[in-house]
Amino acid sequence: MLQRETLLSLNYYKKAVFTGGGFQMLYRVEKDGDELKATVWRGPYCFSASNPDEMFSEHFPFSEEGLVQATEWINRQEKERKDYWEAAER
């Protein structure tokens, strides 16, 4: 389960993208305009080598509350799509 503290401070996203995850489900959090965008996809490949049609994204406010919401959303995706993530290539 992802913890809010894992996603670093809000200032980080003004200049960089954060990625993480395990072998089956990977995630990316980035600044997208005036919002935060969280994306999850099935591993094992990195974001740029994965099929965009197999990614799931959501936007959140660019705020501390938005980071909390993104954390909660990523955790929900991990639970709700468990069978999908477990079908990842090995």
What is the DSSP code string of the chain?
A: ---GGGG--GGGGGT--EEEE-SSEEEEEEEETTEEEEEEEESSS-GGGS-GGGEEEEEEESSHHHHHHHHHHHHHHHHHTHHHHHT---
41 in Cβ contact with 54 (< 8 Å): yes
pLDDT digits (tens, 9 = 90+) for 6-42: 999 999 999 999 999 987 899 999 999 999 999 999 9
| Rounded-to-integer distance, Cα 29 and Cα 43, Å | 16
pLDDT bucket at 90, cuts 50 / 70 / 90: low
| Rounded-to-integer distance, Cα 79 and Cα 53, Å | 20
pTM metric for this prediction: 0.94
Residue linked to tokens 């990316």: 28
